[in-house]
Amino acid sequence: MNAPATSRWEGRIFLGDWVAARGSSLPVVEPATGATLGMLGIANGEDVDESVRIAAEAQPGWAATAFDRRAEILREVARLLKERAAELNDWNIRECGSIPPKAEWELQASYEQAHMAAAMPMQAIGQVFPSSMPGRSNYWQRIPIGVVGVIAPWNFPLLLGLRSVLPALALGNAVILKPDAQSAVCGGLLLAELFADAGLPQGVLHVLPGGGATGDALVKHPGVGMISFTGSTAVGRQIGETCGRMLKKVALELGGNNAMVILDDADLDSASSCAAWGAFLHQGQICMQAGRHLVQRKVAGRYIELLAERAARLVVGNPAAGPVHLGPLINDRQAEKVEAIVQRSVAMGAKAVVGGNRQGRFYPATVLSGVTPDMPAFTDEIFGPVAPVTVFDSDEEAIALVNSSPYGLAAAVHGASAARALALASRLKSGMVHVNDQTVNNEFQVPFGGMGASGNGGRFGGPASFEEFTQSQWISVMERGIQYPF
Ligand code: NAD
């Protein structure tokens, strides 16, 4: 593995040019070892003010840039993502504790999204409507919002930042990206350099590493026309409140507590494989993680056995040091939270069939049996590699259990009868439901998003991104001047 080069961005933020951060600084910590990989510059309120000023100045010129030039730059972004894959992946592994296949998948998905974004500027931007007034044309068109603030989490920093940054830029906005301070290098600083090298005009993209205070300054800035936020429900609610008060457009993609329903006619070998992937991938730190396993009584014993066998085979360790299935959790606080949820649930009567013992930031793949709806393992978003199993008797009971959660991001249903599984799936309060698959699914061309406490109904991906990252305008044109009665 290469030693990460830090000299370009240490202590600096990107406002179209690298400048020293006026705020504080924070170490970039490798979660697997605790080693410091570099020092981040943290943007403060003044930096945000300066960034918004520069972005607002640069945006009209970018929006007026010929569509084919915007597309060309985004295709170059895609090419550079591939060319710089080794560096981006090294950082994803070391900075975020990702295993190499996760980092590689994330990079490939980001590459595909860049190509999709490059196809956006050439699309029709409006419709023409008839008019009741003779000689009038009614044009309804989508126009850029102006300056879009993107606030991203640390778990898939590249993908979850870029899924907003790319379409927002493609549609003529300027973008200020605030990555999480725990993933600011691969989720921001390397991207700033990459977009600049791809030919994006100066000032159109900014990267401001920081935490809550930096994000809050961005949200509250009157010059920012939209906030695209991916993160926790608690922070999303605050941001939603602020944006509501300011009448600012806001897209909220929030937490989840996603259910997999295993019906008594399911293929248990496939279901347990799907479950292991959905529950343990990236140490369970995925908004769509399969965090509740609802299994029909008749097959519950066998399902637990198969899932526990799969969990026991998964190797935990430092992903930069050798092949492992699970890397570290992102920080001590998160590891302690996972441990506390498991311990409290066990104290209430659940059983750790496999796993359940934390070693520092490392937590093994864990299967809990005997989980009831009053236990924290059922009610809380764990964000760790834990598969809590709850037994049900009827399809109606399964639907009620799934829908008892305030979250509504992703769900999955396993069953041999497509008609039965589909009938059940269509009654789940979930933005995304997968039949005979698992909950962690993200295809960039399909609109993605949740219901209830998982978001405010916004969708990213495919045609939905046109709606999210533009506003609309009615322009009517009369052939010649007319006279009204007044
Ligand atoms: P978080 O809400 O604490 O942080 C997310 C981002 O918001 C970070 O960049 C953080 O610095 C910033 N932030 C924190 N406080 C802020 C404030 N007051 N104002 C503005 N910005 C602020 O989330 P987290 O715990 O780091 O991330 C995990 C959560 O994100 C989980 O709940 C997970 O389900 C969710 N998530 C959702 C999706 C989705 O697409 N629905 C995807 C990934 C993660």
Residues 280 and 159 in one domain: no
Q: Which of 95, 287, 381, 468 is labelled catalytic?
A: 287
- The CATH number covering residue 400 comes to 3.40.309.10
Per-residue pLDDT at 8: 84
Is 1 contained in some domain? no
Residues 288 and 312 in one domain: yes
Average pLDDT over residues 172-185: 98
Average pLDDT over residues 11-16: 97
- Domain range for 240: 12-254+455-473
Average pLDDT over residues 402-417: 98
Which residue has its alpha carbon closest to ligand 1 atom 22? 212
Residues 233 and 370 in one domain: no
Q: What is the mean pLDDT of the chain?
A: 97
Instruction: Say yes or no to pLDDT of 70 above 70.
Output: yes
Closest atom, ligand 1, to C-alpha of 234: 2
Is 2 contained in some domain? no
Is 418 contained in some domain? yes
The torsion angle over the Cα atoms of residues 313, 318, 320 and 321, rounded to 10 degrees, is -80
Is 440 contained in some domain? no
pLDDT tens for 456-465 read 998 999 999 9
Residues 219 and 362 in one domain: no
Is 445 contained in some domain? no
Residues 189 and 286 in one domain: no
Q: Which of 253, 339, 381, 468 is labelled catalytic?
A: 253
Please state, for a pLDDT cut of 70, what percent of the chain lies above it: 99
Residues 159 and 288 in one domain: no
**479 three-class SS:** coil
pLDDT tens for 342-387 read 999 999 999 999 999 999 999 999 999 999 999 999 999 999 999 9
Closest atom, ligand 1, to C-alpha of 238: 18
Is 250 contained in some domain? yes
- The CATH number covering residue 143 comes to 3.40.605.10
Average pLDDT over residues 218-241: 98
Q: How many domains does the chain have?
A: 2
pLDDT tens for 82-109 read 999 999 999 999 999 999 999 999 999 9
Please state, for a pLDDT cut of 90, what percent of the chain lies above it: 98
Residue 253 bears catalytic tag: yes
Q: How confident is the model at residue 1 (pLDDT cuts 50, 70, 90)?
A: very low
The alpha carbon of 211 and the centre of ligand 1 are apart by a number of angstroms equal to 10
Per-residue pLDDT at 5: 62
Residues 467 and 393 in one domain: no
Per-residue pLDDT at 87: 97
Concatenate the DSSP letters of all residues of 69-129 into one string: HHHHHHHHHHHHHHHTHHHHHHHHHHHH---HHHHHHHHHHHHHHHHHHHTSTTS--EEEE
Per-residue pLDDT at 221: 98
Which residue has its alpha carbon closest to ligand 1 atom 26? 153
Is 478 contained in some domain? no
- Which of 162, 177, 183, 230 to probe ligand 1 with, by most ligand atoms within 8 A of CB? 230
Per-residue pLDDT at 2: 47
Rounded to whole angstroms, the maximal C-alpha distance in the chain is: 82
Amino acid identity of residue 37, one-letter, is L
Residues 88 and 204 in one domain: yes
pLDDT tens for 102-145 read 999 999 999 999 999 999 999 999 999 999 999 999 999 999 99
Residues 186 and 198 in one domain: yes
- Which of 151, 163, 292 to probe ligand 1 with, by most ligand atoms within 8 A of CB? 151
Length in residues, the chain: 486
The alpha carbon of 454 and the centre of ligand 1 are apart by a number of angstroms equal to 12
Which residue has its alpha carbon closest to ligand 1 atom 39? 253
Instruction: Say yes or no to pLDDT of 190 above 80.
Output: yes
Residues 54 and 165 in one domain: yes
User: What are the residues whose beta carbons fall under 8 Å from the beta carbon of 21, sequence distance 6 or more?
Assistant: 11, 12, 13, 40, 41, 42, 43, 44, 47, 209
Per-residue pLDDT at 7: 73
Dist. CA 42–CA 103, nearest whole Å = 25
Residues in the ligand 1 pocket, defined by CB under 6 Å: 151-155, 160, 178, 180, 211-212, 215-216, 219, 230-232, 235, 238-239, 253-256, 287, 381, 383, 409, 450, 454
Is 76 contained in some domain? yes
Instruction: Say yes or no to pLDDT of 298 above 70.
Output: yes
Residues 299 and 387 in one domain: yes
Residues 154 and 217 in one domain: yes
- Which of 232, 248, 330 to probe ligand 1 with, by most ligand atoms within 8 A of CB? 232
